[in-house]
Amino acid sequence: MIPTPLVDAAFFVFAAGAIVTGYRVFRTDSMVRAAFYLLASFSAVGGILVLLGSEFLGMVLLLMMAGEMLIMAIVMVMYMMNPAGLNPMTMVHQNRVAAVAGLAAFLALAAVGLLGDFPDRPAPQPALATEELGIELLGDSMLVFQTAGVTLLSTMIGAVAIAGRRGRSGSAEDGSIEPALQPDEEDAA
Amino acid sequence: MGLTSGLAGLASLRGLALAAPVPVFAVAGFGTRTAVQDLRLAREIELVDTPRAAALLLIAGSINPAHAEALARVHDQMPHPRATVLWGGSAVPAPFSPEVTRVPWGEDPTPAAREIFRSLLNGSRATEPPLLPDVDPVEWRGVGPYGQGGSGMTGGTPYGRPMAELAPDRDGLRLDALPLEIGPFYPRLPAGLVVEMTLAGDVLIEVAVPAGLDRPPDEGPRRPIPASPFERALTEPVRIAELELARARAHLRWLSDALINQGLVALGTRALRLAHDIGPGDAPRIRAFTRQLGRTGLFRWSLPHGQGVGAERIAGAGLGPLSRAAGLAEDVRTEDPAYRALGFRPVVMAGNDVPAWWRVRLAETAESLDLAARAGEADTALVGRVESPRGRLEPDDSPTARALPLVPELLTGLEWGDAMTTLTSLDLDLDESVTAASPALAATA
Amino acid sequence: MNVYAPIQIALPAVALTLALGVYLVAVADRVMAGVIAGSGPELRAAMLTPLRGAALAFLQWRRATERPDAGGWALAPALLGGLAAFALALVPLGPGLVVADADTGFVAFSAAIAFVMIAVYLHGWSPNSALPLHGAYRYGAQALSFQIPFLLAMLATALPAESLSIVRIVEAQATLWNVVREPVGLPLYLVVGLGVSFWGPLNMPDATDLAGGTSAEDSGVARLLWGAARASMLVAVAAMGAAGFLGGWFGPFLPGPVWMILKTLALLGLILAAGHLLARIRIELFVLVSWAILIPLALLNVFVSGAFLL
Amino acid sequence: MSTEAVLIAAAALFGIGVYGALSQQSFVMLMMGLELMINGAILALVVLWARAAGGNPQGQMLAIVFMTVMAVEMALGFALITGVYRVRRADITEKLRRLKG
């Protein structure tokens, strides 16, 4: 087993990394950089999950997020007017309200974490954890697992139907109204 | 580690590096295409695809003066330490220093390249400074709300770079389009060819070839030295055996470049080696090589199918293998009594797409070697026009000049990889076009 | 995660294996290229040239493009090389001879493979130049297409082992190798292996028709490192293939680790030869084949393997 | 690595996510905020599973459900963005004054 001080050090590195990169997501001009910062944040959380003994979840999180963030970067480059962030932009609204809400959420949840009284019943060794999860997935929670699968399938079908050129009801181009684009200066102001 | 051992390590690093093959980015000027291609077989030289990987810039022959600035830009992209070697050619292109090392045409540039490389690494020769001033394409400093040259979110030219324009993609979305110009020194294209394109994602939605690419260089020879047998055949009878061997070699040289474009670098080098090795009667070797190429999956998954122009569109254009792959039996050789006496029949196929172009050329390579073996001492009987490896060549008209206008319609709508494959499969040769248009040649005919 | 080897032994061991592997790949690739090109193996030159080229790379200066993302550009080769090292650390050389026997070794390996596309995208995006960027998007399309067939092909090896641990997957092949048990698995895995190390017919991001693609703007040490990272990915893929499909350390007469190395070398040879003898596949065709043929094939493979276990 | 420390890290991630989801104009950036919130939730869930629930496998099961939610949110989000862009050519929330097509 890895000695505890090493685990502690790793946790602090991962936690600081997750929070800093998570914050950087909203503080960078380039969309691709934002996606990569978010991926870094997820990777750090994946690392913490592994430290906590939930190896399977940590690795699955990494596996999932790598693909997801690549798609996210591509989607942003596709649709953003200024994906490289060449022109400085502040694409935020209600900044103050949002900051207060974010801080309030943090304080409330942290208070719960600090003040809450959680039972001290540690989980078993990782090997057992993975095995137990497998048995749970295909045993008692089979219904949940299958529901998740069906949900994903219907999501796939729904997403294709929404995004496709031939939309849910006929061609997406028919009968659509294109809004007048506001002058760009107004957006930046 | 002490200072001495550190220095010794550095010295041995240098010693090792000195023996490395010289990474050369070669630029083929007028009439030097085959000589530059042959550098791929030189053991001492490694031809690289990008100036970023090169230590030496080798400029062979004379460059179209319109491309001098592009050449300087290639030079400035090379990492230090770097140097330029001029091989043949009479004029030094404008921004280059006249003191550039020269190697006379006809001499092997390898020893000179090795020597310069050695002195560069030794430090006895200074690396070359950039040729172009470091300026932004557009003035932007101090413009706009943040002094970044832009305005708003998508306006202006932030940092001197124009923002992307929108263009419809093939899925009906309006997304950013990327204007891009490749050439005149893109490693996969014949030297001097420039293609201007607009990319929507990986699809070429607009393609243009600028005019004036086949302008002869201001100075220096107007015709390749030595003149190709095809060019001589325009004015005088030439041995059929020589002409057909030259045709087979030209096809193999094209094949070498085209195979490298498909990722088959080793087999491309093999094709180039074959171009040197083969003689009359070697048709079985070519057929065996063709079978080996079939096993690479080239025709099955690498070449785009069904991407040709209509047969009626190129009827009468005399585009050689392209015409014959479209089912048109166009071949100047059928008009030549000497060829008819040999029982020559052109290779005609009905695919009219890139794989068919390849198959026709490969079959013609073998056929030419057969003809060369059968022809004995026979000379051509037709003077004034000749079937070059690319089609009907006349004193004032070349197949490349006729094929260039087809490029935009052939490439528009293709994915980048397919477009590059189609472009290399056309076997364009601007030198031939320059020579044909050269007044000196027209006068002698 | 059970760590068998202490970190001060494990790190150098993995690094040394990778360095040797990268050198071996460079030499073998040159020898094969020489033989196929018709200039003969030229063994001496093949052994020295990679070292000489590497030395030269250290003497050449790095050159930046205009306004690149310098951090991302520097990170990309390190990330790719690190992923290769991570993947290699999961592969057992013999019974008990493994750096990290993760209980979820299979998922960890898959995560590493998924991160390869991040490394390649970063490498192509960060130089701020058209050809590398094109290579990056190409790899996005390519990698997203082969992820699912890859996962399914690997998944079928975990079924007979009843575990996600690579060591257990090898142990389950004591009597019957997976290559026999599920004949579709290894070819599927090799297709993806070529894609992960973007080698030969599946080298789309760094293709010759893009003049080097994502590495077109690399110079000096950066170019060297990217090449080394690619080669180490190839080594890791071959090693994992040997463990997952060719029975790992099992084999008669010779000791286990020797078998493991021999099998890895055999797979490496196969991949390198494919790189020289197969033409690059068209990206559109590859995407189509991945979604329409490889996924059903891989699913069938899983079903058949499952049916045998019942 | 105490349970409290992990919970505070999770709360911080969630808070940043709330800030991002509320303040960002761009659809995709908004989704990034949502993702960060789920990220924090998964972290809190797993630490409670590991430390307080005695390793009840249903804890991990719940995390898997969270990840499914994340995947669904991404897929539908991207599909909606594509659909909206196709029709309205809008990529920020302010440009959508009406949600009807």
Confidence of residue B216 (pLDDT cuts 50, 70, 90): low
Confidence of residue B438 (pLDDT cuts 50, 70, 90): low
Q: Give how many domains chain D has, as a whole number.
A: 1
Q: Is the pLDDT of residue D74 over 70?
A: yes
Q: What is the pLDDT of residue A19?
A: 92
A-chain residues near C103 (CB < 8 A): 55-56, 126-127, 130
Type of residue found at B395: P
Q: Name the closest residue on chain A to residue C121, using Cα atoms.
A: A70
Type of residue found at B427: D
Residues in chain A: 189
Residue B245 domain flag? yes
- Annotated domain spans of chain C: 2-309
Q: Is the pLDDT of residue C7 over 90?
A: no
Q: What is the pLDDT of residue B327?
A: 86
What sign does the CA torsion over D67, C192, C150, C156 have?
A: negative
User: B152, A188: Cβ pair inside 8 Å?
Assistant: yes
ipTM above 0.90, yes or no: no
Q: For B46-63, how does the pLDDT look when each residue is reduced to its tens digit (9 = 90+)?
A: 999 999 999 999 988 888
User: C55, B81: Cβ pair inside 8 Å?
Assistant: no
User: A57, D89: Cβ pair inside 8 Å?
Assistant: no
Q: What is the pLDDT of residue B378?
A: 84
- The residue among B206 and C256 whose pLDDT is bigger is B206
Map tokens 């585009």 to a residue: B319
B-chain residues near A78 (CB < 8 A): 173, 175-176
Q: What is the pLDDT of residue C103?
A: 76
Q: What is the DSSP letter of A14?
A: H
Q: For A86-129, how does the pLDDT look when each residue is reduced to its tens digit (9 = 90+)?
A: 666 666 777 788 888 888 888 888 888 888 777 777 766 656 77
Residue B199 in contact with residue B180, Cβ under 8 Å? yes
D-chain residues near B174 (CB < 8 A): 89
C partners (3+ CB pairs within 8 A) are A, B
A-chain residues near C108 (CB < 8 A): 55, 59
- Best of A77, A86, A173, A187 to mutate (most B CBs within 10 Å, chain B): A86
Q: Name the closest residue on chain C to residue A131, using Cα atoms.
A: C163
Q: Is the pLDDT of residue C186 over 80?
A: yes
Q: What is the pLDDT of residue B153?
A: 62
Calpha distance B405→B422 (Å, rounded):
14
Confidence of residue B165 (pLDDT cuts 50, 70, 90): confident
Secondary structure element (H or E) that encloses residue B313, with its range: helix B311-314
Strand pairing of B155-156 and B150-151? antiparallel
Task: From residue C207, give the alpha-carbon distance in Å to each of C283, D69, D93.
Answer: 11, 38, 40
Residue B269 domain flag? yes
User: A36, C122: Cβ pair inside 8 Å?
Assistant: yes
Q: What is the mean pLDDT of residues B21-35?
A: 88
Q: Is the pLDDT of residue C64 over 80?
A: no
**Cβ neighbours of residue B398 closer than 8 Å, sequence gap 6 or more:** B388, B390, B432, B433, B435, B436, B437
Q: What is the mean pLDDT of residues B308-331?
A: 84
Nearest to C285 among B23, B264, B301 (CB): B301
Residue B187 domain flag? no
User: D15, A26: Cβ pair inside 8 Å?
Assistant: no
Q: What share of chain C is helix, strand, coil (3-state, %, to 5)?
A: 75, 0, 25
User: B172, D86: Cβ pair inside 8 Å?
Assistant: yes
Q: For C200-217, how does the pLDDT look when each residue is reduced to its tens digit (9 = 90+)?
A: 899 989 989 888 889 988
Q: For A43-89, how does the pLDDT look when each residue is reduced to its tens digit (9 = 90+)?
A: 999 999 888 888 888 888 898 888 888 888 888 777 766 655 566 66
- Best of A48, A125, A150, A171 to mutate (most D CBs within 10 Å, chain D): A48
B174-182 sheet: strands from edge to edge = B165-168, B174-182, B195-200, B203-208
CATH code where residue B380 lies: 1.10.645.10
User: B163, A86: Cβ pair inside 8 Å?
Assistant: yes
Calpha distance C208→C135 (Å, rounded):
11
B-chain residues near D86 (CB < 8 A): 172-173
Nearest to A82 among B146, B153, B171 (CB): B153
Confidence of residue A181 (pLDDT cuts 50, 70, 90): very low
Q: What is the DSSP letter of C292?
A: I
Pick the last residue of a domain from B75, B94, B122: B122
Nearest to B360 by CA among B331, B400, B398: B331
Quote the tokens at residue A15. Answer: 């936690």
Q: What is the mean pLDDT of residues B383-397?
A: 86
Quote the tokens at residue B268. Answer: 């491309």
Nearest to B59 by CA among B25, B31, B82: B25
A partners (3+ CB pairs within 8 A) are B, C, D
Task: Print the domain residue range for B76.
Answer: 13-122
D26 and chain B in contact, CB less than 8 A: no
Q: What is the pLDDT of residue C231?
A: 92
From A159's Cα to the closest Cα of chain B, the distance in A is 16
Confidence of residue A176 (pLDDT cuts 50, 70, 90): very low
Residue B138 domain flag? no
Tell me the average pLDDT of chain C.
86
Residue D101 domain flag? no
Calpha distance C186→A89 (Å, rounded):
50
Q: Give how many domains chain B has, as a whole number.
A: 2
**Cβ neighbours of residue B269 closer than 8 Å, sequence gap 6 or more:** B40, B41, B256, C33, C37, C38, C39
From D86's Cα to the closest Cα of chain B, the distance in A is 6
Beta pairing partners, B24: B47, B56
Q: What is the pLDDT of residue C235?
A: 92
Confidence of residue C5 (pLDDT cuts 50, 70, 90): low
Residue D64 in contact with residue A148, Cβ under 8 Å? yes
B124 by Cβ neighbours in 10 Å (0-12 / 13-18 / 19+) ranks as: exposed
C-chain residues near B9 (CB < 8 A): none
Residue B186 domain flag? no
Pick the last residue of a domain from B82, B97, B122: B122
Confidence of residue B442 (pLDDT cuts 50, 70, 90): very low
Strand pairing of B174-182 and C100-101? unpaired
Task: Print the domain residue range for D46.
Answer: 3-95
**Phi and psi torsions of C225, nearest 5°:** -65, -40
Q: Is the pLDDT of residue C4 over 70?
A: no
Q: What is the pLDDT of residue B225?
A: 60
From A165's Cα to the closest Cα of chain C, the distance in A is 19
| Integer Rg of chain D from CA | 17
Calpha distance D101→D84 (Å, rounded):
8
CATH code where residue D43 lies: 1.10.287.3510
Residue B190 domain flag? no
Q: What is the pLDDT of residue B6?
A: 56
Pick the last residue of a domain from B100, B122, B144: B122
- Best of A7, A63, A65 to mutate (most C CBs within 10 Å, chain C): A63
Confidence of residue C175 (pLDDT cuts 50, 70, 90): confident
Task: From residue C307, give the alpha-carbon distance in Å to each of C157, C182, C300, C303.
Answer: 13, 11, 10, 6
C-chain residues near A127 (CB < 8 A): 2, 103
Q: Is the pLDDT of residue A185 over 50?
A: no
Map tokens 């990169």 to a residue: A21
Confidence of residue B9 (pLDDT cuts 50, 70, 90): low
User: C118, A60: Cβ pair inside 8 Å?
Assistant: no
Q: B58-85 burial string, b = 16+ CB within 10 Å, else e?
A: bbbbbbbebbbebbbbbbbbbbbbbbbb
- Best of A79, A82, A128, A156 to mutate (most D CBs within 10 Å, chain D): A79
- The residue among B415 and C9 whose pLDDT is bigger is B415
Q: For B62-115, how does the pLDDT look when each residue is reduced to its tens digit (9 = 90+)?
A: 887 788 888 888 998 899 889 999 888 767 777 888 778 888 888 888 999 999
A-chain residues near B136 (CB < 8 A): none
Map tokens 């993609």 to a residue: B169
Q: What is the pLDDT of residue A186?
A: 40
Q: What is the pLDDT of residue B248?
A: 93
User: B174, D89: Cβ pair inside 8 Å?
Assistant: yes
Q: What is the mean pLDDT of residues D30-50?
A: 89
Q: What is the mean pLDDT of residues C132-151?
A: 88
Residue C188 in contact with residue C25, Cβ under 8 Å? no
**Cβ neighbours of residue B336 closer than 8 Å, sequence gap 6 or more:** B380, B381, B382
Tell me the average pLDDT of chain A.
78
Chains D+C touching (3+ CB pairs under 8 Å) = no
Q: What is the pLDDT of residue A83?
A: 58
Tell me the average pLDDT of chain B.
84
Q: What is the mean pLDDT of residues C254-278?
A: 89
Confidence of residue B4 (pLDDT cuts 50, 70, 90): low
Confidence of residue A177 (pLDDT cuts 50, 70, 90): very low
Instruction: Look at residue B102 and give its three-state secondary structure.
Output: strand
Q: Is the pLDDT of residue C248 over 70?
A: yes
Q: Is the pLDDT of residue C80 over 90?
A: yes
Residue D100 domain flag? no
CATH code where residue B82 lies: 3.40.50.12280
The DSSP secondary structure of B273-312, one letter per residue, reads HHHHH--TT-HHHHHHHHHHHHHTTIIIIISPSS----HH
Map tokens 């960078």 to a residue: A28
